[in-house]
Amino acid sequence: MEAHWEESGSPHEKALRINLDARWYGTFAEIGAGQEVARWFFRVGGASGTVAKTISAYDMAVSDALYGPAERYVSRQRLQAMLNYEFDLVVQRLDPIRGADRNFFAFADTVATRSYSRPEDGHGWMGIRFQHAPRQPPSDLLIHVRLLDKEPVRQQEALGILGVNLLYGAFYLREQPDRLIHSLLDHLTWERIEVDLIHFSGPAFRHVDNRLMALQLVEQDLTEAAMFTAAGEPVQWAEVLYKRPVLVQRGSFRPYTNAALDVLERAYDQFVREPELAGQTPVVLLEMTLRHLTTGDAVDHRDFLQRAEMLRALGKPVLISNFRRFHRLAWYLSRYTNRPIGLALGASKLFEIFDESFYNNAEGGLLGGLGQLFKNPGRLYVYPSLDARLGRVVRVEDFPVPPRLRLLYAFLCENRYLVGLTPTDEAFVSIRRAEILAKIQRGDPDWEAYVPPPVAAVIKRDRLFGYRPPVTESEGATEPERRVSP
């Protein structure tokens, strides 16, 4: 019978398969957009084999009485409270009579859709807690979704389909999390939904690395950017950035060098002194784009995990994005914070920023792009770069801007949209990642002088980037590389 069911089937087919599978039995709790997920299971027939209860606690007092008070009703905390309560309740009531041959689950979502009083895009949290086998400890699968349709009824429809896809994926695709993620868009498109967080936990997902799942969301076009903490836990943008200033450093970080650290630290020193921050501590993000992670035509997942493991030593959240242009990054950040945004970069990146061919005419060309880049306000903290094309060090004050843009460039400098940085050590400007990487791979111990000590310790401990111990380290030269598994 298994061969008759396709992972890309319609919501009707998926819901019917779940209803006809006697293993699954549980509760649906939905707040904010109708009972759009549960509706599918009643519509297709056979719901009595799957649905123990449905509930929609719309009234805040009723919701608080069931799940406890919450500062925000559309939040991860509310979703987890719903899952905790409903799963414990279904097990408590039904385990004595059905627990021997049923996998109990609780599905929940808490959503704010577009309405007359709320014209902005809808968004919400959705998740499932389930037993992968009878009377086994539960596992969780959580997502955050943005609903992009303009009509509320279309947002509700998309939410219902997404919920069916999520349940189906948890039940039947949990051993292949990359396919599970891909299946979330079945009978949907990226123009209708954006999934910018997914979190796997529990015994059913013990093989899953959530950092790689964040990368998968971007790689499979479910979102343009996803974030995880230094500890590897996925976080949603608003959880980290809401009403906070933010400083971002973009790079390939293979490896993270003393020069890269100096760029970030000098930029941070300038950023925190900006009067608009009013003493508020900024969030610092390290950003890698798909372009930085692509080898040939594919993303090297093992290499990505090695970089993520190295960056853990710096204790900063990591952002994975598909933003080629800096102004797209700034625009995305400004959706989640109205506080200042700073970007730390080398002067060589100014060639991209002031290249008029780099901008879309539909967005207003160069001026439209710069408007997005500097709106919050945004600032570029520019570190000197040794430019091979020019054969000299380029700084913000002597950057060779095209003649027709000189007045614009002068305006940006005079008003501190472009801020030059002074290196702690001028020797940092000549550091080249490729040369350091080559030293790491051939066992030249000199490389350690060019990277921060915590980073060097991780590279040596985990044998990252093809690390080869120096010959002087006795038999260590023949030790195999420690794997960071995808």
Average pLDDT over residues 388-417: 92
pLDDT above 60: residue 28: yes
Question: CB-based contacts of 445: which residues, under 8 Å, 6+ apart?
Answer: 470, 472
In this predicted model, what pLDDT tens digit does every residue of 281-332 receive, in sequence order? 999 999 999 988 988 788 999 999 999 999 999 999 999 999 989 999 999 9
Average pLDDT over residues 216-221: 96
Evaluate the CA torsion angle 91, 94, 96, 97 in order and state its sign.
negative
pLDDT above 90: residue 337: yes
pLDDT above 90: residue 361: no
Long-range pairs of 231-237 with CB within 8 A, sequence gap ≥ 24: 231/312, 232/308, 232/312, 233/199, 234/197, 234/198, 234/199, 234/210, 235/197, 235/317, 236/76, 236/144, 236/196, 236/197, 237/196, 237/335, 237/336
pLDDT on residue 70: 85
Distance from C-alpha of 315 to C-alpha of 363, rounded to nearest angstrom: 36
Residue 64, CA atoms < 13 Å, CB-side half-sphere:
7
Distance from C-alpha of 441 to C-alpha of 299, rounded to nearest angstrom: 21
Distance from C-alpha of 464 to C-alpha of 429, rounded to nearest angstrom: 24
Residue 1: pLDDT band (50, 70, 90) is very low
Residue 7: pLDDT band (50, 70, 90) is low
Rg (alpha carbons) of the chain, rounded to whole number: 25
Average pLDDT over residues 92-111: 97
Helix (H, G, I), strand (E, B) or coil at 469: coil
pTM of structure: 0.91
In this predicted model, what pLDDT tens digit does every residue of 121-145 receive, in sequence order? 789 999 999 999 999 999 999 999 9
pLDDT above 70: residue 476: no
Q: Is 423 exposed, middle or buried (0-12, 13-18, 19+ CB in 10 A)?
A: middle
pLDDT on residue 72: 86
Average pLDDT over residues 24-46: 94
What distance, in Å, lies between the first and last C-alpha atoms of the chain?
32
How many C-beta atoms surround the C-beta of residue 361 within 10 A?
A: 8
pLDDT on residue 364: 86
In this predicted model, what pLDDT tens digit does every residue of 143-193 receive, in sequence order? 999 999 999 899 999 999 999 999 999 999 999 999 999 999 999 999 999
pLDDT above 70: residue 279: yes
Among the ranges given (87-91, 261-265, 292-296), the one the predictor scored with the smallest mean pLDDT:
292-296
pLDDT above 60: residue 379: yes
Average pLDDT over residues 268-280: 95
How many C-beta atoms surround the C-beta of residue 363 within 10 A?
A: 16
CB 429 within 8 A of CB 384: yes
Residue 5: pLDDT band (50, 70, 90) is very low
pLDDT above 60: residue 475: no
pLDDT above 60: residue 482: no
pLDDT above 50: residue 83: yes
Residue 484: pLDDT band (50, 70, 90) is low
CB 415 within 8 A of CB 407: no
Average pLDDT over residues 444-464: 96
pLDDT on residue 66: 93
High-pLDDT (> 90) share of the chain, %:
81
Give, in order, the Cα–Cα distances in Å from 105 to each of 82, 84, 163: 12, 11, 14
Helix (H, G, I), strand (E, B) or coil at 146: strand
Smallest CA-to-CA distance from 424 within 250, 268, 254, 245 is with 268
CB 216 within 8 A of CB 181: yes
How many C-beta atoms surround the C-beta of residue 428 within 10 A?
A: 19
Helix (H, G, I), strand (E, B) or coil at 304: helix
pLDDT above 60: residue 4: no
